[in-house]
Amino acid sequence: MAVRNSGWRLNWPSSPLLPSRAPSTRGFKLYHSTALGGWVVVREQNNETESTVVRATQTACPTNTPCAAARHGEWNHAVGVYDLDVVQIRLYVNGTRAATEAFTTPWLAVGEVSLGGTYHGGKLISPLKGAMDVRLHDRAVSDDEVRQLFLQPPVVKSRWKSETASTATPPVTPDAGPAGAGLTLNKGATLGEPWVDGGLTLDGVDDYAATATGVAPVDTGASFTVSAFAHTAGVPTCETALLSAPGAVKDAFSLRYVPSDTPDSDGGRWRIGTSSADTATAESAQVKNGQFYGPEDWTHLARSTTASPES
């Protein structure tokens, strides 16, 4: 078993953020302790009342002494990792590994996960005063992955559910994300067959949808991800565009279906294309994938680009 728990929260002395309880002891706990000098991730050696505690502890401040390095009253990103492969507990604070301890006796906690405090003897102790955003994952994460979580937490900028549309001409289906970039349904594009939420139906001739603002909701020169569920009404006989963000000369990215020369035995390829710049001589790159049944089946497609933090 691999456990990772992380939270963005306000620092507060000796406040548990995320304990996982078992009948006698805790499977793990992530908390801040002024007494120990910083953030702490804990695992018990076993599920016995007198179990030995293993702690990976940050030493941002002297023991029992609050200091500026503790960043009280500010958002902090704390990550606790148990890595079964290397039998160790790791603690990360604001993207940097703060402590590592060996832990060789993993065991399964069968109680609930508690946020903002821990129960002992039927009572809530060390309650949190602050705010948090907690995620629990089922594998260990690396140093670089933690750094990326801290530097670039994913934020949904736009989400088009295609459930409703305005009565304007042409109609606009709203953006459920903070960018507010509704989609204009052009040339007869309509709301249609739902899959996850609603759905967008196009005739394959001249129907299309485009952001009503006229611009992409994300900075295509930096890191971003775009995803969609899609299927075709039949097997296309030529390249078919699903998503694109055009510039003056080149597309910043495009996602297309490319048919096979042998459609009876090969479902074709979904292809992502990108350009290094918006110029006629810019270098282009493509990635293809054919690991799906066929374009007529609903398929989840995602395109992700990672730029450096300075981009």
- Does residue 229 share a domain with residue 100? no
Domain end: 151, 184, 211, which one? 151
- Does residue 227 share a domain with residue 90? no
Asked if pLDDT for residue 66 goes beyond 70, the answer is yes
Asked if pLDDT for residue 148 goes beyond 80, the answer is yes
Asked if pLDDT for residue 231 goes beyond 50, the answer is yes
- Does residue 193 share a domain with residue 122? no
- Does residue 190 share a domain with residue 58? no
Does residue 160 lie in a domain region? no
Neighbour-count burial of 185, counting CB atoms closer than 10 A to its CB (0-12 exposed, 13-18 middle, 19+ buried)? buried
CA–CA distance, 8 with 153 (Å, rounded to integer): 10
Task: Calculate what percentage of the chain has a pLDDT beyond 70.
Answer: 89
CA–CA distance, 15 with 277 (Å, rounded to integer): 49
CA–CA distance, 204 with 240 (Å, rounded to integer): 9
- Does residue 187 share a domain with residue 130? no
Of these ranges, 201-210, 260-269, 286-295, the one predicted with the greatest mean pLDDT is: 201-210
SS3 151: helix
Average pLDDT score over residue span 73-100: 91
For CA atoms 65, 71, 76, 81, the dihedral sign is negative
Residue located via tokens 């902090």: 76
Instruction: List, in sequence order, every residue forming a beta bridge with 112; answer none if it has no partner.
Output: none
Average pLDDT score over residue span 209-223: 88
Q: What's the token pair of residue 234?
A: 């039949």
Q: What is the pLDDT of residues 126-147, one digit of tens each?
A: 787 777 778 888 889 899 889 8
- Does residue 139 share a domain with residue 198? no
CA–CA distance, 103 with 112 (Å, rounded to integer): 22
Average pLDDT score over residue span 12-29: 59
Does residue 200 lie in a domain region? yes
Does residue 140 lie in a domain region? yes
Q: What's the token pair of residue 185?
A: 């349904």
Residues with Cβ within 8 Å of 197's Cβ and at least 6 positions away in sequence, in order, are 161, 162, 163
Look up the CATH number of the domain holding residue 29.
Answer: 2.60.120.200
Which residue segment(s) compose the domain that 261 sits in? 172-305
More confident residue, 259 or 4: 259
Asked if pLDDT for residue 274 goes beyond 70, the answer is yes
Does residue 51 lie in a domain region? yes
CA–CA distance, 40 with 26 (Å, rounded to integer): 14
- For residue 309, whether the previous peptide bond is cis, meaning omega lies within 30 degrees of 0, is no
- Does residue 140 share a domain with residue 80? yes
What pLDDT does residue 307 have?
57
- Does residue 125 share a domain with residue 233? no
Continuous segment of H or E residues that includes residue 77? strand 75-83
Residue 169's Cα: distance from chain center in Å? 36
Q: Which amino acid is at 165?
A: A
- Does residue 181 share a domain with residue 140? no
Does residue 141 lie in a domain region? yes
Average pLDDT score over residue span 79-98: 93
Asked if pLDDT for residue 259 goes beyond 60, the answer is yes
- Does residue 123 share a domain with residue 88? yes
Does residue 156 lie in a domain region? no
Residue 51's Cα: distance from chain center in Å? 35
- Does residue 273 share a domain with residue 146? no
Does residue 23 lie in a domain region? yes
Asked if pLDDT for residue 255 goes beyond 60, the answer is yes
Give the chain's domain count. Answer: 2
Q: Which residues of 128-147 are buried (b: 16+ CB within 10 A; e: fewer)?
A: bebebeeeeeeebbeeebbb
Distances (CA, A) of 245 to 62, 115, 137, 155, 226: 52, 41, 33, 19, 11
What is the three-state SS of 250-280?
A: CEEEEEEEECCCCCCCCCCEEEEEEECCCCC
Does residue 203 lie in a domain region? yes
